[in-house]
Structure 1
Amino acid sequence: MTAGRPGPAAGPEGPDAHGAYGTDGAFVAAVDGLADPLNDPLPGGHTSPWFRSDTVPAAEPAAPSSYVDGYAAHQGPQQPQGAPNEWYDPAGYQRDWYGPQEPSAGMVAADPVSPMAQVSPVAPAEERAPAPAPDIQDFHAEPRTEVLARIPAEPDPEPEPEAALDPAPVPGGRAERRRAAKGRGRRRPGTAPEQQAAPAAAVPMSRVEARRAARAAKDSPAVIASRAVGEVFISLGVLMLLFVTYQLWWTNIRADQIAGKETNRIQDEWANGDRKPGVFAPGEGFAIMHIPKLDVVAPIAEGIDKEKVLDRGMIGHYGEGKLKTAMPSDKQGNFSVAGHRNTHGEPFRYINKLKPGDPIVVETRDAYYTYEMAQILPQTSPSNISVIEPIPVGSGFTKPGRYLTLTTCTPEFTSTYRLIVWGKMVDERPRSEGKPDALVG
């Protein structure tokens, strides 16, 4: 129940003569004239805290007084005679159901002087309903079917195009669903271009245009020639790569296999006593050379033929024609041999690293002949045969003796010049006495 607001004294005597409200009984009449919104029943037996009906019998009119006249003037214009006595209080409804609420920025407070002060939300203009709400009294007075008939039906939403429908639900919140709805009109990655738009009809070309298009589609002679040249270069490059691989890798493997078999054969003959000392045929192995510092063990064959001796990984002895030299068993002479420095087993690959005093052992059927490295000639002409004479020129030897000469190509991977290494015999040991010290260590 809302308490009345004290008004000013109406009598000439003032508030002290007739109380705070002037005339006697004016307070009671003012209170009875106020209806309690919590107990005012609606038509049909309904009770609502925000509705008043004219079916409720009005209170008996009170005696006119200055208080009542002032209160009526404060309330504003009165409803016309016979109009339904309604009172709609949304703020009171919110307060009764949700408790006291703090007024927000969008709330406009009513006149604080009025006992019916209320706080109402001010909605934006675009959110306000364009049409007034139907009369609440009519909803209770009329049947339900008629009330529903009076409510305007919402128009059916327009069906979305079939391409925009997404058969799978979009997970996530509203933001994800909005983004998915925006992208429904776009072409999906898996959709073929033919499904998005129908291809335009092909315009038939004339015979002249068709010939021109055919000639334009053909490659010009320059393009064909450039392709042919490119294919030739690629083929030559592949062939050269295969050749280099063969020379640097496969020839060494093959030569090592052949040289190893020849070494085993020579050692088997010595062990069985099948071969007698004498003259050897070209390409026939008769000795084994050991260079401990270079970890070289290679068979020595008669002759310096490239295909029969040198390319098979063996060391060739100069023993034919004008290049004939002495054998290790001779009392005097220069035992001269040749070998590859690169490819085909390359037994003399690192003879340039030998130092004076390094041992070189020649093993034969009867004995071990040990030489010590004495001198090196880094480079000379291939036609300089004086380096293999009995007293080799440039070796530093001045008198006859038992010498050793090693010859090979230089620089590496070329045959422009010859590299010469000389040695002098320092020990001859029969096989019956065992291996020399250079091979034992």
Structure 2
Amino acid sequence: MTPPRHAAGAGRQDDPHDPQAYEGAGAFEAAVDGLADPLNDPLPGHHGPTAVPHRQQSPHGPQSPQQAPPEWYDPEGYERDWYGHQEPVPQAPAEPALPADENVEPRTEVLRRIDPADEAPREPEPLSGDDEHESAEEPGERYGVPPVSAASPAPATGGRAERRRAAKGRGRRRSAPPPGPGAAGTDGAPAKPMTRMEARRAAKAAKDSPAVVISRGVGELFITLGVLMLLFVTYQLWWTNVRADQIAGKETHKIQDGWAKGAGKPEAFEPGQGFAIIHIPKLDVVTPIAEGTSKDKVLDRGMVGHYSEEPLRTAMPEDKQGNFALAGHRNTHGEPFRYINRLSPGDPIVVETQDAYYTYEMTSVLSQTSPSNVSVIGPVPPQSGFTKPGRYITLTTCTPEFTSTYRLIVWGKMVDERPRSKGKPDVLVG
């Protein structure tokens, strides 16, 4: 029997398959408002076990809010199907509430989902050269992280793979070289003492080899010889001149004081006794003349020596005929004849004695001859250019400079004899 239909606009709203159920004014809106969640709840009149009956609009106004009905799906099963089995994450214990007057920011705990792949066991990786030294260190000591003790809780970190990546990103600490034998350990404890053999080897290694000792001794010897040679050269080239000038100056004053006192002239002068003064104006030379050519008594004392000993005895300036021959150093010990090679013909050479001034003019020079050529101081020297006896002067010295290999000879002839009573000659006054 066919059930009677309702009038138009009055279809049954409890039958969702009836097309006339929602034709009434406000019927559809009333059905939708009855849903707790219009996007997730089933349609009105769903025949499922979790179907939610729609709310009927009361003719007296909207109904009071009701508690949301339970969902029709299983959330736990949904999460298990899509994400797999998840272990419950332990929650940190709640911290005690701080007083309201303290300005402290609340602590925020960040929970991270644990990747099961990080917890899987891994094969141990081979250690490199640096890792062998670092393997004995704790992970915290290796990467500069303070070690975790029982008193302080471990910081929240990820899996092993993440820790290794973070450590590689911060770089490795260079390992210290292993301590040598006998050195103290890193913890301050004394190292293992060396054996007798090791001590002998260490002492032998620290000891210098014979070659090193010999080379060091030779070097010190050369340095000592060099210093001694330098001192000797300084003495010869500088100090001997200083001392000779002092001695020659005192001897000059002694001679002049004796002349001023009117002391009588002896018949013969003793070796080393000063009796005259030679003046070479061009060379600015004023040096006493002593008897003999001894190095110790005359020449090394800065004076000029007269050849007065046989067989090389020569004439005196006051003699009416003869060669007045003199010798002097060219270098060191006052070096009075150092520059006689600069004399030119006509340059004056004055010999001052107790009675007179004897003036000679330079005539010729022999630049080099043998020390055994004694003819250069003869009465008439063969190489001087003189042809007959006369009143001559001869100056002899060593050549080349700083050697005594040869002799340098300078000759002159007397051109004026002036008594002391008449004063100095013109060549000394100017």
Q: Give the 3-state SS of the residue equivalent to 2:311 in structure 1.
A: helix
1:418 is matched with: 407
CA shift for structure 1 position 203: 3.3
Structure 1 pair 200–291 and aligned structure 2 pair: CA distance change class (3 A): farther
Q: Distance in 1 between matches of 2:104 and 2:273?
A: 126
Structure-2 residue corresponding to 1:97: none
- 2:289 aligns with one of 288, 297, 300: 300
Q: Secondary structure at the match of 2:278?
A: strand
Q: Which has more helix, going by share of residues?
A: 1
Following TM superposition, by how much is the alpha carbon of 1:199 offset from its aligned partner in structure 2, in angstroms?
6.0
- 1:407 is matched with 396
TM-superposed deviation, 1:150 = 12
For these two proteins, the number of residue pairs brought into alignment is: 265
Corresponding position of 1:253: 242
Aligned counterparts, 1:329-344, within 5 A: 329-344=318-333
**Residues 208 and 317 of structure 1: is their aligned pair in 2 closer, same or farther, counting only changes over 3 Å?**
same
Q: 1:380 to 1:203 in 2, by over 3 A?
A: same
- Give the TM-score normalised by structure 2: 0.58
Instruction: Determine whether 1:393 maps to 2:347.
Output: no
Match of 1:328 among 300, 317, 327: 317
Q: Deviations over 1:278-334 (max 9, x none)?
A: 210100000000000000000000000010000000000000011000000000000
Where in structure 1 do 4 or more consecutive aligned residues deviate above 6 Å?
A: 145-151
Q: Separation in 1 of the partners of 2:256 and 2:102?
A: 122
**Is the partner of 1:323 in helix, strand or coil?**
coil
Superposition deviation, residue 151 in structure 1: 7.2
Segments of structure 2 that go 5 or more residues without pairing to the other structure are 1-63, 66-98, 110-143, 147-172, 174-185
The answer to whether residue 218 in structure 2 is matched with residue 264 in structure 1 is no
1:168 alignment counterpart: none
Cα distance change, pair 149–395 in 1 and its aligned pair in 2 (3 A): closer
Alignment of 1:152 onto 2:95: no
2:348 to 350, 359, 362: 359
Give CA deviations for 1:76-122 in whole Å, capped at 9, x if unaligned: xxxxx99xxxxxxxxxxxxxxxxxxxxxxxxxxxxxxxxxxxxxxxx
**Cα separation, 1, equivalents of 2:327 and 2:281:** 18
Amino acid at match of 1:420: I
- In structure 2, relative to structure 1, the CA distance for the partners of 1:346 and 1:151 (3 Å cut) is closer
Q: Which residue of 2 aligns with 1:232?
A: 221
Shift of 1:345: 0.3
Paired residue secondary structure (2:257): helix
Describe the shift of the 1:146–1:318 C-alpha distance in structure 2 as closer, same or farther (beyond 3 A). closer
Say which SS state the counterpart of residue 277 (structure 2) adopts. Answer: strand
Offset at residue 198 of structure 1 (A)? 5.7
Q: 1:353 to 1:147 in 2, by over 3 A?
A: closer
Structure 1 equivalent of residue 279 of structure 2: 290
Q: Give the superposition deviation at 1:266.
A: 0.2
Rounded to whole Å, the distance in 1 between the matches of 2:383 and 2:188 is: 91
- Report percent identity of matched pairs: 74
The offset of 1:212, in angstroms, is 1.3
Structure 1 pair 333–214 and aligned structure 2 pair: CA distance change class (3 A): same
Which among 349, 369, 373 is matched to residue 358 of structure 2?
Answer: 369
CA distance, structure 2, for counterparts of residue 150 and residue 299 of structure 1: 110
Q: Does 1:203 align with 2:192?
A: yes
Cα 1:382–1:151 shift into 2, 3 Å: closer
Aligned position for 1:311: 300
281 and 148 in structure 1: CA distance in 2 versus 1, 3 angstrom threshold: closer
The TM-score with structure 1 as length reference comes to 0.56
CA RMSD of aligned residues (A): 3.0
Unaligned 5+ runs, structure 1: 1-80, 83-144, 163-184, 186-196
